[in-house]
Amino acid sequence: MGLPWIRLDTSTFDHPKMLFLVEEKQFRPIYVHLSGMAYTGKHGLDGLIPKAALRVIGGTVNDAKKLVEAGLWNEVAGGWEVHGWTEYQFSSSEHEARRQKLSERGRKGAQARWDK
């Protein structure tokens, strides 16, 4: 199961890596980066963006090259990974553990209400 949301730092758009793209008027790769983050989060891929998904997120190979050049993506076998994903986002397993914990707490709370 994927993430229902991802973390987006408030300094995302003034980070030097983004400013590099803005200065070069590379706005499409910025869109592709954000779309890629949403895609990998939604599908529980822990930062991986498969080559087959590039078109789905509105990107081209040139966009991916720009993102690698800017240091926002790393090229890996079968696609790219969002640089720093595991440092700033929940992994799929962490998200699932949190979801189960919250579900169990909710179940116990409901049971306590029903038992009254």
Residue 5 pLDDT class (50, 70, 90 cuts):
confident
pLDDT confidence of residue 6: 84
Residue by residue, DSSP assigns 39-106 as HHHHTT-TTEEEGGGTTTTT--HHHHHHHHHHTSEEEETTEEEETTHHHHS--HHHHHHHHHHHHHHH
Domain contains 105: no
Q: How many domains does the chain have?
A: 1
Domain contains 94: no
Domain contains 55: yes
**Domain boundaries, position 28:** 12-89
**Amino acid (1-letter code) at residue 18:** M
The pTM is what? Answer: 0.77
Domain contains 65: yes
pLDDT per position as a tens digit, 74-86: 999 999 999 999 8
pLDDT per position as a tens digit, 64-77: 999 999 999 999 99
Domain contains 4: no
Domain contains 5: no
Domain contains 19: yes
